């Protein structure tokens, strides 16, 4: 283990920032302060270069051609699969399915494993802090199968009430699907405990890793989850690409998700036999360029150092929390003991949209609204929050700019 002082000494945020071209621009005549990485992260030059290199150097369809460009494109695409396997410590590359993102990964599990295994009277457990992408697919499935959806409640700090979760588990529980890190609160949930308890009850576990994979070191074997989904665009990679990890023995027995090319071995009008993993779940021409460029993003994270990035983001969150708490009338929503780089807040008598407009006029990008977590907002009795989210390229000076901007918003709107 490297000492914290050594990590911080080695971490050069200005050097990091120089690798992100968009951070050089201005907004409304002011230097851009980008505090919306929980929605999507900015992209380093190496990722942009990888996209350009693919289209300008070896653009071709994959797995189907024997000409040189097709072979080069296939090799680059499959190299990303190997990089993802190593990044999340999967045991097999066959367990890595490329998707369009976290949402598609969760839907894939709902439409395949869910429709095969959920019966009338069965129970699915989610939590009160889920993104709509981890609510709606299970609602649809429960309505179709006449199953029951149960919800783990949370406390006022934005933490799961684990004793209540244990009470919800029963022989009827077939699936537990929970978010690892809340996009709206930043809460880091105890997913290993959840997985162990669910397995003891005979249930399968799905983890929404959209927010956690960029902040935490992910080891799906240690977590022992059955499914884990995440998106490239929150990991400094391109949009439109994502990953579903699934345990091989489950993926092998699940029905197909989409029919078409690549997911087949042989097609006749009488019968179709399906391809081996992982291609069984990758019908049609995939998002080749963005998957290829995703490897550059993973390499960027690995070379920068996951531990160094996590320490930097932790210090930003600690500093931001202290500074925000000094603002009169401001209340932070989500004060869990374990948090990742998200600070959500409301300001008394101020509308979140008005705050965002004033901040944008100062070049500061934040997210406002319900953050696709409307039931969570209802739990806190609010319509939404202003959310600042932090990444590898953010600085204390940018947090100071946010605080200054909020003071200006209060002066103008009060």
- Alpha-carbon distance of 339 to 317, in angstroms, equals 9
Is residue 69 within 8 Å of 57, Cβ to Cβ? no
Out of 32, 149, 372, 382, the active site residue is 372
- 264-267 and 26-27 strand pairing: unpaired
| Helices within 37-119 (DSSP H only) | 45-57, 68-87, 102-109, 115-117
Is residue 246 within 8 Å of 54, Cβ to Cβ? no
142 is an active site residue: no
* Burial 381-400, CB ≥16 within 10 A → b, else e: eeebbbbbbbbbbbbeebbe
How far is residue 27 from each of residues 32, 34, 82, 133, 143, measured CA to CA in Å? 6, 10, 39, 31, 46
- Alpha-carbon distance of 228 to 109, in angstroms, equals 10
Kindly write down the DSSP assignment for every residue of 189-251, as one continuous string. --HHHHHHHHHHTT-EEEEE-TTHHHHS---HHHHT-SEEEEEGGGTTS-TT-EEEEE-HHHH
| Tokens at 103, concatenated | 């949402």
Residue 111 has what DSSP assignment?
A: I
What phi and psi, each to the nearest 5 degrees, are found at residue 174? -110, -25
What are the catalytic residues? 372
């Amino acid at each position: 283990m490297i000492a914290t002082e050594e990590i911080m000494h080695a971490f050069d945020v200005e050097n990091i920032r120089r690798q992100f071209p968009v951070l050089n621009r201005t907004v409304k005549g002011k230097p851009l302060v980008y505090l919306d990485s929980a929605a999507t992260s900015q992209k380093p030059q190496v990722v942009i270069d990888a996209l350009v290199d693919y289209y300008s150097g070896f653009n071709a369809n994959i797995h189907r051609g024997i000409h040189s460009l097709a072979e080069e494109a296939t090799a680059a695409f499959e190299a990303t699969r190997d990089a993802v396997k190593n990044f999340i410590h999967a045991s097999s590359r066959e367990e890595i399915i490329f998707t369009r993102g976290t949402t598609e990964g969760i839907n894939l599990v709902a439409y395949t494993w869910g429709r095969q295994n959920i019966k009338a009277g069965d129970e699915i457990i989610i939590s009160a802090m889920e993104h709509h992408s981890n609510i709606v697919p299970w609602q649809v499935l429960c309505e179709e199968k006449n199953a029951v959806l149960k919800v783990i409640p949370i406390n006022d700090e934005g933490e799961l009430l684990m004793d209540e979760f244990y009470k919800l588990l029963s022989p009827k529980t077939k699936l537990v699907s929970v978010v690892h890190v809340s996009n709206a609160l930043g809460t880091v949930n105890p997913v290993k405990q959840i997985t162990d308890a669910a397995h003891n009850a005979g249930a399968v576990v799905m983890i929404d890793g959209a927010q956690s994979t960029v902040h935490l070191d992910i080891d799906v074997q240690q977590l022992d989850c059955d499914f884990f989904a995440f998106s490239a665009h929150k990991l400094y990679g391109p949009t439109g690409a994502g990953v579903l990890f699934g345990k091989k023995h489950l993926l092998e027995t699940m029905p197909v998700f989409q029919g078409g090319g690549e997911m087949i071995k042989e097609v006749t009008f009488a019968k179709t036999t399906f391809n081996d993993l992982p291609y069984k779940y990758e019908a049609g021409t995939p998002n080749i360029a963005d998957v290829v460029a995703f490897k550059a993003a993973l390499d960027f994270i690995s070379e920068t150092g996951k531990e160094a990035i996590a320490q930097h983001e932790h210090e930003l969150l600690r500093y931001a929390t202290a500074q925000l708490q000094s603002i009169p009338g401001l209340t932070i929503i989500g004060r869990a003991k374990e948090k990742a780089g998200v600070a959500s807040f409301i300001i008394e008598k101020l509308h979140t949209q008005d705050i965002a407009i004033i901040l944008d006029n100062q070049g500061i990008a934040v997210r406002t609204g319900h953050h696709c977590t409307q039931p969570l907002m209802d739990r806190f009795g609010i319509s939404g929050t202003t959310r600042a989210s932090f990444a590898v390229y953010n600085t204390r000076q940018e947090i100071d700019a946010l605080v200054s901007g909020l003071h200006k918003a209060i002066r103008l709107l009060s």
